[in-house]
């Protein structure tokens, strides 16, 4: 049986088959094989499927086959994030090319007036819940002809607090519709939702799309004020080993501020990194993702907004600069690599403030094999902060310190080295998921009990004490000409 015959056997219509052939798909994925026949048969489906498993074609094949041009909005796909809405809409537009369907993405952060014009001609709408409710309140969208409703990344929508919004939207759709729910995990709340709003749904689950045999997971135990320096060393070392390698790298942070901090200082240290998070202008976010997708951007610093749903191919390395607070988020992060038969590496940089999150990840994912790597020798560098805001390179909570009043410098490296510290009596994080013993450096120790001291920042200072401190520093520099470092820097 040739490649096209495998897709034809699923019952996919000729319009979609032409696109599949043009895109040179090799064979149907597991989720496609299991769900497409059911969807084409009109069944409601609850599918447990990871990102990148091919689910857009799975639910898209049924929608495109049954939706007709010029009959209004007949297909509605709900997604948790703007980026996923844009991506799904783009893929649906591709798959429906030969049927000439109008697919419109609907999400916040852009002009609603332009969307109103486009929605009036749409056959398929891909929307985030919040912006869709805005359209419903304005009566700018008609859902009375919706015959296909898809909840994509449903667990993420629930995590983001969209449960009630989704329920409001579903009640405005016709009862005589086909409902498809795709989710990485099926929680009790999602099961209750399916019982209430779906008709005898068929439950489908597939194997994890990430090949565990091809995913190498490691962690480095670093000092709080050396996290960023170690990240730079690892990135540059990998680049030097494979100078011609154009594989993609994702660096995950827990907060927007930390993501901005890391991306800015990577650029200052000759690493061409770009950042994406929910606080950015939508058009800028899309430009960055497009550059990452086509290979013009190789290092992407991001928050978890990029960990779910987006199908980005060719990611070879995942760096967790901040350890994921949620065990599920960690799995979704590392799921960006080692896909479709390719190998990948997940690297975790662990400091005292990551220990609890790291233990939590291991506790809830006992099957994970995260090996400890010896901390290499690396150059200690200084990091640069904004003039009126400062985030911490060694921390993941993104709090700010008092405003900086010093001059900003160039962010250059001062050429000091940090040796391997693995001969230290400190013990590594427990692999059994339990909290480390007292011999392991923890955030509750006397040295780290003050959150500002643990990041190398020191306690909060009043304006008066800050000025006195500045006068003292000037006196020191007068006596010691070699001391010329700006107060706007701290050693990472």
pLDDT tens-digit readout, 55-113:
899 999 999 999 999 889 999 999 999 889 998 999 999 999 999 999 999 999 889 99
Q: Which of 3-17, 40-54, 63-77, 186-200 has the lowest average pLDDT?
A: 40-54
8 A C-beta contact, residue 460 and residue 402: yes
8 A C-beta contact, residue 209 and residue 335: yes
Domain spans in the chain, listed from the N-terminal domain onward = 3-205, 212-476
Which tokens is 59 given? 């639910």
Q: What is the CATH number of domain 212-476?
A: 3.40.50.300
**Rounded Cα gap, residues 196 and 191, in angstroms:** 9
Q: Is the dihedral of CA 188, 306, 251, 249 positive or negative?
A: positive
Whole-Å CA distances, 218 to 168, 209, 224, 316, 471? 44, 20, 18, 14, 46
**pLDDT tens, 315-336?**
899 999 999 998 888 988 888 8
CB atoms within 10 A of CB 114: 9
Across-strand partners of 300? 250, 274
- CATH fold, domain 3-205, is Rossmann fold (3.40.50)
Across-strand partners of 344? 215
Whether 447 has a pLDDT exceeding 60, the answer reads no
Residues 6+ apart with CB under 8 A from 428: 219, 221, 372, 440
Fold agreement (3-205, 212-476): yes
**pLDDT tens, 407-426?**
333 333 334 444 444 434 34
Residues 6+ apart with CB under 8 A from 119: 73, 104, 106, 125, 135, 140, 141
């Amino acid at each position: 049986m040739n490649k096209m015959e495998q897709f034809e056997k699923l019952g996919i219509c000729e319009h979609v088959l032409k696109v599949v052939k043009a895109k040179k798909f090799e064979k149907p994925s597991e989720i496609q094989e299991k769900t497409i026949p059911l969807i084409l048969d009109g069944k409601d489906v609850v599918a447990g499927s990871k990102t990148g498993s091919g689910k857009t074609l799975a639910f898209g094949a049924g929608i495109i086959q049954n939706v007709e041009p010029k009959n209004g909005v007949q297909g509605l796909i709900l997604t948790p994030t703007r980026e996923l809405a844009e991506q799904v809409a783009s893929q649906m537009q591709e798959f429906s090319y030969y049927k000439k369907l109008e697919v419109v993405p609907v999400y916040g952060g852009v002009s609603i007036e332009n969307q109103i014009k486009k929605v009036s001609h749409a056959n398929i709408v891909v929307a985030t819940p919040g912006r869709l409710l805005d359209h419903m309140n304005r009566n700018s969208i008609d859902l009375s002809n919706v015959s296909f409703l898809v909840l994509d990344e449903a667990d993420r929508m629930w995590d983001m607090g969209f449960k009630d919004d989704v329920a409001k939207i579903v009640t405005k759709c016709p009862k005589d519709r086909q409902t498809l729910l795709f989710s990485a995990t099926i929680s009790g709340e999602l099961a209750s939702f399916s019982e209430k709003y779906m008709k005898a749904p068929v439950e489908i689950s597939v194997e994890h799309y990430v090949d565990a045999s091809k995913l190498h997971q490691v962690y480095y135990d670093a000092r709080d004020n050396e996290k960023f320096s170690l990240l730079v060393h690892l990135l540059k070392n990998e680049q030097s080993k494979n100078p011609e390698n154009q594989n993609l790298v994702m660096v995950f942070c827990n907060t927007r501020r930390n993501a901005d901090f890391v991306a800015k200082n990577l650029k200052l240290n000759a690493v061409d990194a770009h950042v994406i998070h929910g606080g950015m202008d939508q058009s800028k976010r899309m430009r960055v993702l497009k550059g990452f997708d086509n290979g013009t951007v190789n290092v992407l610093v991001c928050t978890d907004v990029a960990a779910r749903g987006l199908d980005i191919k060719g990611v070879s390395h995942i760096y967790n600069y901040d350890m994921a607070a949620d065990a599920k988020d960690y799995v979704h992060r590392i799921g960006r690599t080692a896909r479709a038969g390719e190998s990948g590496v997940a690297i975790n940089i662990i400091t005292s403030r990551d220990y609890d999150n790291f233990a939590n990840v291991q506790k809830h994912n006992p099957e994970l094999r995260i090996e400890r790597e010896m901390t290499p020798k690396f150059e200690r560098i200084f990091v640069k902060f904004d003039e009126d805001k400062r985030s911490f390179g060694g921390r993941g909570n993104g709090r700010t310190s008092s405003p900086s009043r010093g001059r900003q410098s160039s962010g250059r490296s001062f050429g000091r080295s940090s040796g391997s510290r693995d001969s230290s009596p400190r013990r590594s994080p427990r692999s059994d998921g339990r909290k480390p013993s007292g011999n392991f450096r923890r955030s509750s120790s006397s040295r780290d009990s003050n959150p500002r001291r643990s990041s190398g920042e020191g306690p909060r200072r009043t304006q008066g004490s800050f000025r006195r401190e500045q006068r003292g520093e000037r006196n020191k520099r007068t006596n010691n000409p070699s001391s010329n470092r700006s107060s706007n820097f701290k050693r990472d």
